[in-house]
Amino acid sequence: MPLVVIFLRWDGAIRPRIPGNERLRSVEVAVFEGGYGITWHQKTAAEYTAAHAGEGANVNVWGEPRMAEKVKPRILRGDPPSLIMDNRLPLWLMISTGKLLPFDEVLDRPAYGSDLPWRDLFLPGTLDTYTSGGKVYAIPTSFGAWACWYDARQFREHGLSVPRTWYEFEALCRQIDAAGIAPIAYQGKYPYYAWFTYISLLQRCGGLALINRVNAMEPGAFSDPDALKAAGMLQDLARRYFQKGSLAMSHTESQLQFVNNKAAMIFCGVWLENEQRDTIRPGFELRCFNVPAVEGGKGNPHVFNGLGTEFVFMPTEGRNPDVAADFTRYMVSLEKGPDMGASIGVISPLRGGCPPSAVSPALQSVLRMLDESMVDGTPGIFNVRLAELLLEWQQQVMIPSLAGLLHGSLTPEEFARRLDKGIAAARANPDIAVPEFKPYDPEIFGEPQ
């Protein structure tokens, strides 16, 4: 028994230490080391430390591909890093259990490089993803958008043009198919990818009013006739135009098919260029277009599924939260936006935070999409929050149902019934805290009711 007690005590006592002078106001920043690397973050931390040396600030960035596994035990032990940047941690769970600090105090301060409050610079909706009780618990460091990607050179060579409507899109797929090229590459091993195309079609068919019903977890929202139409369109697209064998391809395999021109288009997020940067051949002109308009649909075809991504958050028990929050304000600023765009190929979540000249032509096409979505100066961005909010629903209902729809083993009606049933179960579960939801105003987004 004493041995067991010793082990239990010892088990909680191991803690990695970041070298540094303890008298300084040290901030440890743990960054998921993925496609974007951590070099830019380290450089930014060094700049911040140099600029705030008088105040004793000392920001250290370290990275790790298995970041979530590394920091989880430290959160449990009450010794987390001051800032964490890894979306694979259960942020909603951390918010509901009081493990995260809000950023509101610093959000109301002027932004670096501007007289305006930092909060006012964020693109609409990008701060909403992890907002609860009116408080913002995570700050996006980049802006993500869902789009259809293509090689402009290949399109030119085959006399193809960017479609504006779903009818044109299907005609384009047939044209590509006739040329002996697979129309659409698909990351079949990860049905999650198709979710974003599906919710884009939901908006095209049923407008933001339908997106609001889905976000509000309204009973039967997925069985709405417009939602069934969207599911049917996605299933039809998969059956007729997805690359053969793509159901067994991982994201990198299918993206490789695309950059090797074996498939002409792929639905993906803005990270595509960065993820494939070592495989994109010279001459490949990566560009994107918005999910085409659906004939007879209720949605504004210029708005798109966009959201803040690569979130940074502040554990409650982290050291020097005031410095950590201020460093976040510096990192996500108008000053650093162009540098971030040029260095790691991401779009800043701030309005005007990323001039087109700072980013690649591929990301410029995303910025064009953003410009085209503007309604009276407001970017037309929407998102569906369910996948991040309901982890069990995502894993056990959403992903398998999407896989079933795309394999053809589920009809659109069965697919919708499963999603609705799962949502009803989640609503009935007292353990799931559903935060309030700020609905989109369809009229503001150019969708008169």
Token code pair at residue 19: 């070298």
Token code pair at residue 271: 């990270």
Cα–Cα distance measured from residue 351 to residue 89, given in angstroms and rounded to the nearest whole number: 27
- Interface stretch with other proteins, choices 2-10, 77-85, 126-134, 157-165 (CB under 8 A): 2-10
Q: Which of 24, 179, 181, 399 binds other proteins (CB under 8 A)?
A: 399
Shortest Å, Cβ 220 to other proteins? 22
Taking CB under 8 A as the criterion, which residues in 104-163 touch other proteins?
A: none
Cβ-contact 305, 268 below 8 angstroms: no
Taking CB under 8 A as the criterion, which residues in 227-286 touch other proteins?
A: 244-250, 253, 256-257
Q: Contact between 93 and other proteins (CB under 8 A)? A: yes
- For residue 139, list its beta bridge partners: 312
Angle between helices 399-407 and 225-241 (to 10 degrees): 60
Q: Contact between 34 and other proteins (CB under 8 A)? A: no
Choice between 246 and 348, CB closer to other proteins: 246
Cα–Cα distance measured from residue 203 to residue 205, given in angstroms and rounded to the nearest whole number: 5
Q: Which of 177, 218, 392, 414 binds other proteins (CB under 8 A)?
A: 392
Q: Contact between 429 and other proteins (CB under 8 A)? A: no
Q: Which of 375, 387, 391, 425 binds other proteins (CB under 8 A)?
A: 391
3-state helix, strand, coil in the chain (%, to 5): 45, 15, 40
Shortest Å, Cβ 440 to other proteins? 29
Choice between 18 and 68, CB closer to other proteins: 68
Cβ-contact 150, 288 below 8 angstroms: yes
Cβ-contact 121, 353 below 8 angstroms: yes
Name the nearest CA neighbour of 229 among 297, 183, 303, 299. Answer: 297
Instruction: Categorise residue 406: left if φ over 0, alpha if ψ from -120 to 50, beta otherwise.
Output: alpha
Q: Which of 189, 319, 368, 421 binds other proteins (CB under 8 A)?
A: 189
Q: Contact between 428 and other proteins (CB under 8 A)? A: no
Integer Rg of the chain from CA: 23
Q: Contact between 324 and other proteins (CB under 8 A)? A: no
Choice between 47 and 253, CB closer to other proteins: 253
Q: Which of 16, 51, 55, 97 binds other proteins (CB under 8 A)?
A: 97
- Give the single-character DSSP code of 394: I
Shortest Å, Cβ 222 to other proteins? 18
Shortest Å, Cβ 402 to other proteins? 9
- Interface stretch with other proteins, choices 113-121, 135-143, 184-192, 298-306 (CB under 8 A): 184-192
Pairing of strands 83-85, 25-32: parallel
Q: Where are the alpha helices (DSSP H) in 350-408?
A: 361-372, 386-389, 391-393, 399-407
DSSP 30-58: EEE-STT-SHHHHHHHHHHHHHTGGGTEE
Cα–Cα distance measured from residue 328 to residue 29, given in angstroms and rounded to the nearest whole number: 10
Q: Which of 90, 338, 356, 435 binds other proteins (CB under 8 A)?
A: 90
Shortest Å, Cβ 249 to other proteins? 6
Q: Which of 39, 279, 395, 429 binds other proteins (CB under 8 A)?
A: 395
Torsion angle, alpha carbons of 178, 183, 189, 190, to 10: -160
Q: Residues near 431 by Cβ (< 8 Å), separated by ≥ 6? A: none
DSSP H or E stretch at residue 91: helix 91-96
Name the nearest CA neighbour of 415 among 433, 429, 400. Answer: 400
Mark residues 41-80: x for contact with other proteins by CB under 8 A, - for none: -------------------------------x--xx----
Shortest Å, Cβ 198 to other proteins? 16
Number of residues that bind other proteins (CB under 8 A): 37
Choice between 4 and 50, CB closer to other proteins: 4
- Interface stretch with other proteins, choices 188-196, 284-292, 340-348, 357-365 (CB under 8 A): 188-196
Judged by the rule CB under 8 A, the positions of this chain that interact with other proteins are 3-4, 7-8, 72, 75-76, 90, 93-94, 97, 99, 188-192, 244-250, 253, 256-257, 391-392, 395-396, 399-400, 403, 407, 409, 431
